[in-house]
Structure 1
Amino acid sequence: MGLFDFIKGQFIEVIEWLDDKGVLVYRFPAYDNAIKMGAKLIVRESQTAIFVNEGQIADVFGPGTHTLSTQNLPVLTALNSWKYAFNSPFKSDVYFLNMANFTDLKWGTTNPVIMRDPEFGMIRIRGFGSYSIKVGDPALFLRDIFGTKQEFTTSSITGFLKSVIVSGISDLLGESKIPVADLSSSYDELGQLSLAKLQPHFSSIGLILSSLTIENVSLPEEVEKMIDRKSSMNIAGNLDNYMKYQTAEAIREAANNPDGGVAGAGAGLGAGMAMGQMMSQMINSPAEPRQAPPSQQPSTQHTNTQPVQQASGTKKFCSECGAKLGENAKFCSECGSKT
């Protein structure tokens, strides 16, 4: 800075700051940190100003117009400064803190969180949502977080805050033991519980966690497929609905495969209906009793003593040896069997 900046700094009489989007803390740029005695400090409704002298917080100013003088700043009783033709300046800093709510800040799991589910066992889940913060204790936030930078934006701290939120929500999900199938119906309750659980962490650095929203908790693809299969099996409990489901699936597959044409659609449709009919028959038809195989009678000799006749009915043959018998013969001349 040159001589002009030095002279201009001696005539500073109004200290104010118009909020910038996303800026939490702003340090007023005074030449050589010299603030003129009797300067006017204007603090707006959404702001707080902190007067720092030689690295120590001298006073905190709320909304309104304030005159900076030794009467209003009793801490500054000894001012060692170069004597100018003007009033002796303060060798101090003025920090403006934005006290408004910073909304729509995003949080999300960088890596999957492992939890134990009573139905699916060990699974990995991801989640994301939004949250809002505001400065609760300006002096504490200035000491612990801000430091001596020119300005401090929300992007400078959101990484740290996101890790705190993800850790707290992961711990809460593990303690709640809510099945993953019921998580979507508990987002509001989990958000409120997370807000209460995380508030002490934010208060320890001078911030207030105004709100926290869980927008979604997603599951791995393989777990989602398992849920889809289970839903399909539940539909199969009603075979009429199952047949309709199979028909709709076949039509959808045919639509997604235009190369298959009408033949592909007909084949898929027929397979779905055939499967449904087969299952319907298996469930609705009573079980048929098994029939015992017919018993086999043991063969005995001479069971048939009647002579075997030729097709003409004029000649007789022995039923034992097959020899030709004479007319009116009572015994076989070959084997002696009775005819």
Structure 2
Amino acid sequence: MDRIFNLVRNQLIEVIEWTDDSRDTLSFRWPDEDKEIKNGAQLIVRESQQVQFVAAGQFADLFNPGKHMLTTENIPVLSTILGWKYGFQSPFKCDVYYLNTRLFTGNKWGTSNPVMMRDQDFGVVRLRAFGTYDFRIVDAPKFLKEVAGTDQNFRLDEFNDTMRSRIVSVFTEALAKAHVPALDIAQRYSELGDALLPIINPVIQDKYGLEISSFILENVSVPPEVEQAIDKRASMSVIGNLNDYVKYQMGVAMGEGGEAGAAAAMPAQMAMGFGMAQEMMKSMQQPAAAQTPVTGAGASPATTVASAAIDVLTPEQVAQALGVSVEDVMASIEAGDLKARKIGNAWRIAKSALEEFLRG
């Protein structure tokens, strides 16, 4: 008789507890080895743990840290599911899930493909983003239903594979709602992560029973063409005053000397040449505005020729004004960039044509 009693007692579960020594387990289905739980059995839930009972495919009672005796009073939902109106005395079977509610830190996320986003500076732009996030389980039934399922031992590596694409999807929607310009994202990584939390968390908690306590952007990259546009804008900001920049370039070129100095000074010389040409055009316009030209029957041939000479330049005069070679001027004429007219064997450039060429 004692042997039968001991055999029956060994088939009953009297103490339920689980100690996590892996540090990466999110949920663990307690192995009952097809045994039944004894009426009055002890359930031990440690700090950073929750226990969810599941009976007949339904979520039953949830237990927080502490030592609990399993009686009808302590498991009202389970009692209802199993049909115990007036209490129970017999053993019962039930799935017991332990959930780790501690904070899991340093989980990596990233976009495997560029994310399309509408930007106020560049229109539609493609972004890649990478970073880390910290999370904890706050809704055990929802987490078991939507993420872990009936997995015997659901670990962090499985979670990362499952959630990475979901986190990226939520991040994309949150970034679109935040309307943050692409130029500002790289300057405000930490601020942007904090700003996205109130947008991301309600979705994550409602869908998966999780709470993200920290969401960090480590890098946001844009396509090469957008990077070039950003670099050009930054270069323009750094140069600032163009006249000061030209003077600085000339000073550097004069200090270097030799062929390298001449090559380095060429942009400055060209800029100065354009400036001199523009000043010359202004000075040529002033006499014309100050006096009324004598034309018609009363005009002398000398006056007419002088007026024409003011309005027409030779390639040599243009080259001297611009600080370039005559060959450069002729190349611009032949390319059609600088309009000129050939009279006999000589080329003549109208002042208006030179002004148009200088204006680009």
* 2:338 corresponds to: none
Counterpart in the other structure of 1:83:
none
Residues in 2 aligned to 1:79 and 1:61: alpha-carbon distance in whole angstroms: 18
| 1:227 paired residue number | 230
Summarize deviations over 1:123-178 as a string: whole Å, max 9, x none: 22211222222111212322343332202123334345333333333334434443
Q: For residues 140 and 33 of structure 2, what CA distance do their matches in structure 1 show?
A: 24
Deviations 1:37-76 (A, max 9, x none): 4432211110011233333334221111122345543544
Distance 1:146 1:48 in 2: 15
Structure 2 counterparts to residues 159-174 of structure 1, below 5 A: 159-174=161-176
Identity of aligned residues (%): 41
Out of 89, 99, 115, the position equivalent to 1:113 is 115
2:166 is paired with a residue of what secondary structure? Answer: helix
| Correspondence for 2:213 among 195, 210, 213 | 210
Q: Distance in 2 between matches of 1:139 and 1:12?
A: 24
- Contact in 2 for aligned 1:243/1:273 (Cα 8 Å): no
Q: CA deviation at 1:101?
A: 1.3
Q: Residue 44 of structure 2 is aligned with which of 35, 42, 45?
A: 42
The one-letter amino acid paired with 1:206 is G
Where 1:287 maps in the other structure, the secondary structure is helix
Give unpaired runs (5+ residues) of structure 1: 1-5, 81-86, 249-264, 296-339
Q: What is the distance in 2 between the residues matched to 1:18 and 1:190?
A: 38
Q: What RMSD over aligned residues (CA atoms) do the two structures have, in Å?
A: 3.7
d(CA) in 2 for partners of 1:182, 1:32? 59
Q: Structure 1's 230 and 141: CA in aligned 2 closer, same or farther, altered over 3 A?
A: closer
Partner of 2:15: 14
Counterpart position of 1:198: 200
Secondary structure of the residue aligned to 1:119 is coil
Match of 1:276 among 268, 274, 281: 268
Residue 184 of structure 1 and its aligned partner are, at CA, apart by 2.5
TM superposition shift of 1:195: 1.6
Please say which structure displays the higher CA radius of gyration: 1
Conserved? CA contact 1:129–1:213, under 8 Å? yes
Partner amino acid for 1:10?
A: Q
Rounded to whole Å, the distance in 1 between the matches of 2:248 and 2:9 is: 84
Shift of 1:221: 1.4
Q: Structure 1's 224 and 292: CA in aligned 2 closer, same or farther, altered over 3 A? A: farther
- Which SS does the other structure have where 1:276 is aligned? helix
Give the equivalent residue in structure 1 for 2:93.
91
Letter of the 2:16 counterpart:
I
- What is the distance in 2 between the residues matched to 1:224 and 1:127? 15
Counterpart mapping for 1:229-248 below 5 A: 229-234=232-237, 235=239, 237-241=241-245
Correspondence list, 1:291-302, <5 A: 292=307
What SS does the aligned partner of 1:212 have?
A: strand
Identify which range, 17-26 or 223-232, moves more after superposition: 223-232
Deviation at 1:25, TM superposition (A): 0.7
Report how far residue 269 of structure 1 moved.
Answer: 5.1
1:273 maps to a residue whose letter is A
TM-score normalised to structure 1 length: 0.65
* Structure 1: distance between partners of 2:99 and 2:60: 15
Tell which deviates more after alignment, 94-103 or 277-286.
277-286
CA distance in 1 between partners of 2:250 and 2:156 (Å): 53
Higher helix share: 2
Query: How far is the alpha carbon of 1:284 from its aligned partner?
Result: 6.8
Distance 1:274 1:187, change over 3 A: same
Q: How many Å apart are 1:94 and its aligned residue? A: 1.6
Whole-angstrom distance in 2 between the partners of 1:223 and 1:156: 36
Residue 17 of structure 1 aligns to which amino acid in structure 2?
A: W
Shift of 1:78: 11
With normalisation by structure 2, the TM-score equals 0.62
The one-letter code sitting in structure 1 at the alignment partner of 2:19 is L
Give the 5 Å matches for 1:43-58. Answer: 43-58=45-60
